[in-house]
Amino acid sequence: MKITLLGTGSFVNESEHAGPGCLLEINGKNILIDAGSGVQLRLAELGFDIGNLDYFFLTHYHPDHNADTTSILVRYKNLKRFYDPEFNKPLKLFGPLGISDFIESLYKIFAFEDFYNLNNELLEIKELHGQLNLSDFKVTSFDVEHIGTLSKAYRFEADGKIITISGDTVLCSGIKKAAKNADLFICDSSLSKGNKNPAHLTTEEIGKLCKETGVKKVVLTHFLPYAKNVDLLSEVKENFDGEVVLGKDLLELNL
């Protein structure tokens, strides 16, 4: 398994932090998780062709995680229409409750309403609840709490290894189950110690969560500009003896 962080920022784009997104490679399959602003550009910087995507998972429907979703889907559908008539590999898109309505709404907003049904064989949209066993990997979705919106953490398992992606979450039972014994935990690290709010984890909570659930390595992401002068990594380490990595755009991690 290999994971590349495409965007380690949040709502506020900075040159070094695109919006949330990462590219996971498992047994030759390419899996995009979230598509914040700048994710498509980061994929281009990697030399990655959108047509090579196999799966696309959305953690939730907030705009910082979806600014590039429409353009990526339009690009994928256009591969057959404009570039390669033989192109027929479907992209499998998963998300929380309401995924089809969400995608259809995006097409309406961006005046691609007719396009929604065009080349629909190239896009398979499904809600994901619980576990999905595929030939190359297993993925389990967990409901997590995030200011009253439907949000998912995803746990990918293959070859005896576990990668968990938190999405946006506070400390809740869902994230504890998702992170259990993860070899790699890509974690929402929006808030420094003492700055608790109903949307995100604090560094103190991350440290305690990783210790309690037996995480081996945690990668901090979803940074906000205010934290530039805060040593988030040291704050997590105050409660966790495992490996802590400060995420950065285009960082590659292998398992």
Provide the minimum distance between the beta carbon of 19 and Zn ion in the complex, in angstroms, as a whole number: 8
Which stretch in 111-119, 122-130, 167-175, 211-219 sits in contact with Zn ion by CB under 5 A?
A: 167-175
Provide the minimum distance between the beta carbon of 124 and Zn ion in the complex, in angstroms, as a whole number: 25
Provide the minimum distance between the beta carbon of 237 and Zn ion in the complex, in angstroms, as a whole number: 24
Question: How far is 203 from 225, CA to CA, in rounded Å?
Answer: 15
Provide the minimum distance between the beta carbon of 173 and Zn ion in the complex, in angstroms, as a whole number: 19
Place of tokens 């259809």: 104
Which residue, 68 or 168, is less far from Zn ion as judged by CB?
168
Provide the minimum distance between the beta carbon of 187 and Zn ion in the complex, in angstroms, as a whole number: 12
The answer to the question of residue 64 lying near Zn ion (CB under 5 A) is yes
The answer to the question of residue 62 lying near Zn ion (CB under 5 A) is yes
**Is the alpha carbon torsion for 26, 31, 34, 39 positive or negative?**
positive
Which residue, 11 or 112, is less far from Zn ion as judged by CB?
11
Q: Helices 69-78 & 99-109, crossing angle to 10 degrees?
A: 80
Half-sphere exposure of 133 (CA within 13 A, CB side): 0
Cα torsion for 67, 224, 248, 204, to the nearest 10°?
-130
Which residue, 30 or 151, is less far from Zn ion as judged by CB?
151
Which stretch in 1-9, 96-104, 163-171, 177-185 sits in contact with Zn ion by CB under 5 A?
A: 163-171
Are the C-beta atoms of residues 99 and 127 closer than 8 Å to each other? yes
Provide the minimum distance between the beta carbon of 159 and Zn ion in the complex, in angstroms, as a whole number: 30
Cα torsion for 77, 81, 87, 88, to the nearest 10°?
60
Burial of 47 (0-12, 13-18, 19+ CB in 10 A): exposed
Question: How far is 196 from 148, CA to CA, in rounded Å?
Answer: 16
The answer to the question of residue 143 lying near Zn ion (CB under 5 A) is no
The answer to the question of residue 17 lying near Zn ion (CB under 5 A) is no
Which stretch in 130-138, 162-170, 231-239, 244-252 sits in contact with Zn ion by CB under 5 A?
A: 162-170
The answer to the question of residue 168 lying near Zn ion (CB under 5 A) is yes
| Binding stretches for Zn ion (CB under 5 A) | 62, 64, 168
